[in-house]
Structure 1
């Protein structure tokens, strides 16, 4: 969350000449020099914890009383979008853009430049009311889930109705598979005819809630990962910095020099809770009776573990959002099943 860079004033050097840049999540450092004798480089002082920036100044003296000067600009500070926009940086005019949330094609594709600032505004607004940044993230999550509830409800009810119809005609589908097992084309034709006869069709927009939430998740990922606002902001208990991993136990360094686990330097409880809740949320969703969709659901069962590994060392604020969202999703599924039941295969109302 700091920006850290060295550049030459008024000149465009490349390589290890007169410019270097260090850019992490929350801070920026930049140094600019007008002299080609200024050599700067960014170097990793520690493979897992720290990055430093170094500058070498060569001075050529002609006489004993000669004065030699080297000019440069150097910025080291937070990636605060408001501060960087309002401050005049002279030759370092590119600095404000370094703090934008849409500085990559991936972020621009999902409208992160608009979503991330809006999310941070909501978090700041709720924090001004409750006085705690963690609870502010929880309230923001509840608001987002509340806005998406009508779409989630419609999607889940339609999916449950589709699965009930599929369960009702499953014996007939099994009979078609046995009868035309060696003739895939004929089996497909008869299956489509059966679907049409019983008015069975996959619900349109079944993935819409997930697709609508994905840009929000990407915006949250960018905002909670890179915002200086959350730096050193505590939640409760051991979570004392929402911009960093929750670090319940600090190992003091990598636990082992092996791929994947070499980056584990702390025991982070929140990502583990997040994965468990994701799995429970998946189990609370309606199970498909369609073989292809059932197979896809089995494949998706591994996604929580994969994302848990990928997000293990990310901001505790992001994990807090995912935990809250999963808890709401589990509760939401139970309410929808009870409040809007659909007929089961035997004609009774599903609970």
Structure 2
């Protein structure tokens, strides 16, 4: 497959504000120059040396992910960008570059989820919207291929598959995306774009064009329906988590416990009743409680979902900020908690 998904090669002005010294910006600039000249090993050494002094630096970590991608070390680059989304969920660029890496290895569902998070973070992020369209086209191509395997005489599926190939090029096979950073890499004050790769198009006779237009409308409608369902699922999951936090804050133990599934895995392996009694005593014993959910990241897969967020807990005895993960499942139209744990 000739990928047309676009990597981002510079952080936004928001991410640049995370830097706290000229020296670190100079290190990033020097490493960027080395990478653009093809000296990726030297660039990586420069970045690693700077990260020893400032391991949380977002821009240096982002640059390391780019260098690892250039070196075709996709799994390591994925680890870097994933950790960036955990630490800086407000930045859309790491999500976009994660999607490019996932797509290059054929993990299109993960690519879709990453791009949807990028768009949720910044709804005006045009590159992510374009990449999401390409991912949906690939998923559509796979579905049409499967339809033809089951029924090789399906003329409608053949026509739709031809349409998708005309839109994004040959959708069989796969290669890693080639990084070609612009001169403004890393030290730019706004995201820079690589040279766009134009999708392959083919000329068709007028009659065929009319038929393809109809097929295109159907394909777009199907993709829009799938995207709308995914958005609804994410909204329902987020609403369930917020209702759970509100019940906890109100010390409404009945509603609070109703958010846990029958299959809920208690944290210490104790019985469900023992766990529920302990939670009731702890919650009802507080003078006041306030639980806030911030920066939620939601990944829905069918009837299961993973929600990661920052939990801000305040009571008359304790104030704590922590990372929280909820594993949820959908039962009878409701999203319920199957497992929960603190930390990344």
Smaller-chain TM-score bracket: under 0.3
TM-score computed with the length of structure 1 as normaliser:
0.23
Q: For the pair shown, which has the larger CA radius of gyration, 1 or 2?
A: 1
